[in-house]
Structure 1
Amino acid sequence: MNIDIAVPTYNSAQWLDAFLESIVQQDFSNWRIVTRDDGSKDGTENIILSWGNRLGEKIKIIKNPEKINLGIVGNYEAIFDECCAELIMVGDPDDVWKPGKITLTYEVMMQAEKEFGVDMPIVIGTDAEPVDKDLKPISPSLWKWARMNTNSTSKLSLMVMENPVLGPTMLFNRPLLTLAMPLNGGAAYHDWWLALVACAFGKIVLIKKSTLLYRRHGANDSLEPLTQNYSQAAKKIGKAHSRVQFLIRQLALQATAFSLRFRDKLKTSDYLALEAASCLPSSTMVMRRVRVIRHGLWFGSFIKNVGMMVFL
């Protein structure tokens, strides 16, 4: 198979059929799904088994008879360990892929590997279309909805703070996965960690096109943005302080793990930026702001940066 599609599941019964059907309906057929259920308490496992009967060799089901829950990062790591293709995609079972998604990202990957070489760690990412639980549109663009700066992918100090490369839009190659593994013990999110590795040591290529319906249903692993517009941000000011503090702790732990893992490979400026991010939770209020400014640790929008400087 050209592409392995990593699909972790956990209590996904409500969405799983629609997601898998959107893969089957793609115009690119040289793929295999690799999936593991993380101890679901609904009917997810039975749905996976029924798809196993339908897809045969085009799906690999990693058994979990003890129903051990590894968490989202641990489940992805277990699945990535079983992926053998040179190219890997990521699929969240609550999304729906748009037609042509695989072909588009595959063709761009082929161009990128031709330009940069097959040994270069590369990830391809796209925009996504946020929708509600019933697939009704929320916004035509995740990047605009969440106020993400796609130009941040060229600078590690910016990627440390925020990741515009959404996991279910990703197609990445074997050199990137080899360098990024293991994930557990370091990654805040699997996609953020992979994007950091690509930013530091490889290439990130973003396609300014939405390739999937990104379902938001209240139980997502990722957080809702507080800054969809200025009026909503003002109404949610009470949540802003706790959100900023949570994000700072999260990115600091990831920055610490990243700098420890790759210290000997990093450019000096990147290492210093990671060290500064690592120190944010334990620094004084004044020093936090000094570190942010000195090392360029900015989010992707003005309003987010104002919130950070107020609540940091």
Structure 2
Amino acid sequence: MKAEIEILLSTYNGEKYLEQQIESILSQTYGNFVLTIKDDFSTDGTMAIIQKYINKYPAKIRQFIDPKYKKNMGSTFSFGRLMQQSEGKYLMLCDQDDVWMENKVEISLNKLKEVEAKNPNKPAMVFTDMIEVDKELKTINDSFIKHQKLSPKVIKAPTKVLAMNVVAGCTTIFNRACINVILPFPSTKVIHDHWMAINVSHYGIVEFLDVPTLYYRQHSANVVGANNVGMKYYLSKVFSPVKQMQLYNDLIINLNFKINVMQFIYYKTWFNIKRLFQPNNGNPVIK
């Protein structure tokens, strides 16, 4: 019998924290899952760690050796290939350097099944909050959503999600119906969780579970990370206009539905202003 949940883990030079992440997955209170790992051509000891765990837990952990690609493809396409080969009824994405709370799978699945019961036969996704920690797992911020001044309410409108992504892929769980509206990812410029959130918001249902389910590790090799939302943050975007334009161009032109560009520009401007001047008091003002 196939596992109900398939956890998809993309790795790249993750030897430093990978074992701790895998151990946190193996310690979950819900056990009907398999962990599928795809390595994106690591040059450190990542592969040896993966093989060690496959040897130890052959029924629980497997590796996807991609016959299609022979070089590093980046996290977006790597997760895309993992989704393409997946077999689980429900899917979860996993980053190599975080640590999952022991009930992450259980409470995420319960919430998703509630959403599905109210919205049968629709693409359905659930995402959660997370605790920001340093490399030693000491708490930096107890809520990623509050620290980033995000409002999960925007998830109901694809144009608003396009203007402000509130979904971290590593917190998500989604059903197989989502695959048809997510894939393929259009380019490496597009961040996979942003693309996922926009499309599932349009074609299906996305719900926020207001609890943290993982420890989001911040360290020097963390590509994305949790930036402080302030003047310095926005200036960094203002002074990289080409990169920003390429990102949103790739998002908008590749969607299979139309986005009102003027409405998007309005929301993007409004959200940036509100986030810039919103105090860090944990009360989102974006509706």
What TM-score range do you get, normalising by the shorter chain?
0.7 to 0.9
Distance 1:61 1:12, change over 3 A: same
Q: Give the structure 1 partner of residue 14 of structure 2.
A: 12
Report the Cα offset of residue 68 of structure 1: 1.6
Larger relative contact order (CA 8 Å, sep ≥ 6): 2
Structure 2 distance, partners of 1:305, 1:187, is 28
The unaligned stretches of length 5 or more in structure 1 are 228-232, 264-270, 278-290, 307-312
Counterpart code for 2:215 = L
Q: Give the structure 2 partner of residue 77 of structure 1.
A: 80
Report the Cα offset of residue 304 of structure 1: 3.9
Which residue of 184, 193, 213 maps to 1:182? 184
Structure 2 distance, partners of 1:79, 1:199, is 22
- The yes-or-no answer on 1:299 pairing with 2:271 is yes
Distance 1:211 1:223, change over 3 A: closer
Number of positions where the alignment pairs a residue of Structure 1 with one of Structure 2:
275
Report the Cα offset of residue 11 of structure 1: 0.5
Counterpart code for 2:88 = A
Q: Give the structure 2 partner of residue 215 of structure 1.
A: 217
Q: Alignment partner of 1:56: what SS? A: coil
- The yes-or-no answer on 1:89 pairing with 2:89 is no
Distance 1:302 1:209, change over 3 A: same
Taking structure 2 as the reference length, what is the TM-score of the superposition?
A: 0.88
Q: What do you get for the CA RMSD once the two structures are aligned?
A: 2.4
Distance 1:147 1:300, change over 3 A: farther
Q: Give the structure 1 partner of residue 163 of structure 2.
A: 161
- The yes-or-no answer on 1:45 pairing with 2:53 is no
Distance 1:207 1:249, change over 3 A: same
Structure 2 distance, partners of 1:223, 1:298, is 23
Please, which moves more after superposition, 57-66 or 107-116?
A: 57-66
Report the Cα offset of residue 236 of structure 1: 5.9
Distance 1:140 1:49, change over 3 A: same
Structure 2 distance, partners of 1:203, 1:74, is 24
Q: Give the structure 2 partner of residue 102 of structure 1.
A: 105
Asked if the contact 1:152/1:300 (under 8 Å) is kept, the reply is: no
Counterpart code for 1:299 = F
Higher gyration radius (CA): 1
The Cα offsets for residues 39-78 of structure 1, whole Å up to 9 and x where unpaired, read as: 1111001100001001102122012598521111111111
Taking structure 1 as the reference length, what is the TM-score of the superposition?
A: 0.81
The unaligned stretches of length 5 or more in structure 2 are 279-287
Please, which moves more after superposition, 160-169 or 11-20?
A: 160-169
